[in-house]
Structure 1
Amino acid sequence: MKEENIIEELKQKIEAGGQITREEALALSRVENKKALYEAAGAIRDRFVGRYFDTCSIVNARSGRCSENCKWCAQSAVFKTHVQEYELIDEESCMELARLNAKYGVNKFSFVTSGRSLSNKNIDKLCEYAVKIKQEMKINLCASMGLLTKEQLKRLKEAGITRYHCNLETSRRYFPTLCTSHTTDEKIETIRHAIELGMEVCSGGIIGMGETMEDRVNLALTVRELGVKSIPMNVLNPIPGTPLEGAAPLADEEVLTTVAVFRFINPDAFLRFAGGRALIAHIEEDAIRAGINSAIVGDLLTTIGSKVMEDMEKVKRLGFTTDGI
């Protein structure tokens, strides 16, 4: 069967309400007609999610001092990365960042903290910030605070935080080669707690850490099985001082193919540009055409992000709306 026929056949399967298998996803990743693959993925996105482009921003609410040994991360205390360290952002700084993002029309604002989990004292403090933000401005709130208990997640929800982020990072097979201080199962337990509480979940991963395409497909299948509808797609930005500082960059085609395959597997999800955006700035528009429909805008955690208004103008020029859902 010709490649164009394989792509079209699987596209029609998805449009009819079906799901592609691991073997079919890997077959898609190997097609030589990449243009047809990307166009089909973009069409699937338009069919299931439309032309709305979701935006979110993050505040580095607790920085450094992390006990975990994730090989990609500048926040780990195990590695010498010279990242800024502080226990908790002050209220005034947090409120001002939230105001700026609300002013720009960003849809979601997320508290992101370093560490395996967050202390109840710090959770209570950030919940106080969340309540004040919701009282003052129109913006949705998210949180990424590690491996929290169900009771801690409930506290976040009561404060007005409606989405919880916990990246699986890579496949279950590959994760232990990158981190030994916690497991994929612990992450999934946190995700399931959030789902049980009625929170939305954001979970994706990082590509370019030495994983195979099969690892990426397995990650995409896992988040599909969990019912995740917001999937961050990070491209590794090698941080000096981490074990992955010498990782070779991915070819543009590999990045775009990964995006398209994720879209075939998760047709109605928001595939989100996240970390490493500066490394793929020259193909961002191609990635949007291949299925991306959301992004973290503004400054990122420990690397340079993007300018909010430039992002808004770019996606509108490509035919998307950024007005809140």
Structure 2
Amino acid sequence: MNHVQNLKGKVLNGEFLSKEEALLLVNVPLEELCLAANEIRQCFCGNNFDICTIINGKSGRCSEDCKYCAQSSFYHTAINNYPLLDTNQILGQAKISERKGVLRYSIVTSGKKLNDDEVDKACESIKAIRKETGIAVCVSFGLLDEVQFKKIKEAGATRIHNNLETSRNYFPKICSTHSYDDKIKTITSAQRAGLNVCSGGIVGLGETMEDRIDMVLTIRELGIRSIPVNMLNPISGTPYEDNDKLSDEEMCRIVAIFRFLVPNASIRLAGGRGLLKDKGVKCFQSGANAAISADMLTTAGISIEQDMQLLEELGYKVVLWNG
């Protein structure tokens, strides 16, 4: 039986694949899988592409022990530490992104969660962005509660970001200072507050393809349609500094299988894209249809100008994806 064509037919017919069906795609020929995933992407999403930028709004001294993270206070890494940026700094970067054609801008902060005073300060920045630009605002402020999320929505943000990172089964191996259920609670609190959610994970932590599939199935169950896929960039000083980097081919297979599982989502290449030999081109032809452009939190990214040129060459149209 040709698993690729059979399962592609089911997806194009509007059916969701099961875990067992997704696992059948792990060892199928890569080129056929990627072509099928791209066909699914075109059917459900057209040539729409969601590109965003992020700002490291508060850096370092994080109380959490996530083993991949350069900002954790548990590890000794060469990063800058600073408190929550003021409105002028955050607004300035939003204006630059908008001038270059970016439609979404995310403020990301280190730490388990912002406290109430920090949330109020961040809301002032969100209000300023919404007043002085037309760019949409996303925030990643940690494990906030519903009351705090309502404040953020009232300030003008439309989306929050909170990665599951990996499967429920593998999560205890990468973090012990908060739980998978803490993340689920945060996501559902944001949804109750009326915010869209962006949630995905990091690949290359030592997890299996089954873990990756389990993560996406959980995301699908939560009704999330913006899924960042970060490729681990091993940072010196973290427990994962010696992890092997995933190959371009592995990344293509990952995003292709994700597309089969969530046909109508924006699958977003995020951190680590610069490690790919082609900067993500093949992934964008294998089911991925979104990206974070410019610099990441603690590592360099790919310039907005380069990405805009690439998207034009690939025939994509930059739009704001509000799913």
TM-score category, normalised to shorter length: over 0.9
Corresponding residue for residue 279 of structure 1: 275
Corresponding residue for residue 29 of structure 1: 26
**Offset at residue 77 of structure 1 (A):** 0.5
Counterpart residue identity of residue 146, structure 2? K
- Structure 2: distance between partners of 1:319 and 1:119: 43
**Offset at residue 91 of structure 1 (A):** 2.1
What is the aligned-residue identity percentage?
47
Runs (4+) off by over 4 Å:
none
SS in 2 for 1:29: coil
Corresponding residue for residue 246 of structure 2: 250
CA contact (8 A) 1:13 1:19 kept: yes
**Offset at residue 232 of structure 1 (A):** 0.3
SS in 1 for 2:317: coil
**Offset at residue 252 of structure 1 (A):** 2.3
1:74 aligns with 2:76: no
Note the alpha carbon deviations across 1:117-147, whole angstroms, 9 max, x for none: 0011111111101111111111000000110
Counterpart residue identity of residue 215, structure 2? L
Please, what is the CA RMSD of the aligned residues? 1.0
- Structure 1: distance between partners of 2:181 and 2:87: 34
Corresponding residue for residue 164 of structure 1: 160
SS in 2 for 1:161: coil
CA contact (8 A) 1:252 1:283 kept: no
Q: TM-score, normalised on structure 1?
A: 0.97
Q: 1:144 aligns with which of 128, 140, 148?
A: 140
Q: 1:49 aligns with which of 45, 49, 60?
A: 45
- Structure 2: distance between partners of 1:284 and 1:81: 27
**Offset at residue 283 of structure 1 (A):** 5.6
Counterpart residue identity of residue 301, structure 1? L
Q: 1:115 aligns with which of 111, 131, 138?
A: 111
- Structure 2: distance between partners of 1:75 and 1:311: 27
- CA, structure 1 residues 308+65, in 2 after alignment: closer, same or farther (shift >3 Å)? same
Q: 5+ unaligned residues in a row in structure 2: which ranges?
A: none
Higher mean C-alpha displacement, 289-298 vs 88-97 = 88-97
- Structure 2: distance between partners of 1:251 and 1:312: 24
Note the alpha carbon deviations across 1:238-295, whole angstroms, 9 max, x for none: 0100000000111322111111000000100000010001111426111000001000
Counterpart residue identity of residue 132, structure 1? A
- Structure 2: distance between partners of 1:323 and 1:69: 36
Corresponding residue for residue 303 of structure 1: 299
- CA, structure 1 residues 192+324, in 2 after alignment: closer, same or farther (shift >3 Å)? closer
How many residue pairs align between the two structures?
321
SS in 2 for 1:28: coil
Q: 1:106 aligns with which of 99, 102, 109?
A: 102
Higher mean C-alpha displacement, 162-171 vs 5-14 = 5-14
SS in 2 for 1:311: helix
Q: 5+ unaligned residues in a row in structure 1: which ranges?
A: none
CA contact (8 A) 1:67 1:116 kept: yes
SS in 2 for 1:102: helix
**Offset at residue 324 of structure 1 (A):** 3.9
**Offset at residue 197 of structure 1 (A):** 1.7
1:214 aligns with 2:210: yes
Corresponding residue for residue 182 of structure 1: 178
**Offset at residue 110 of structure 1 (A):** 0.6
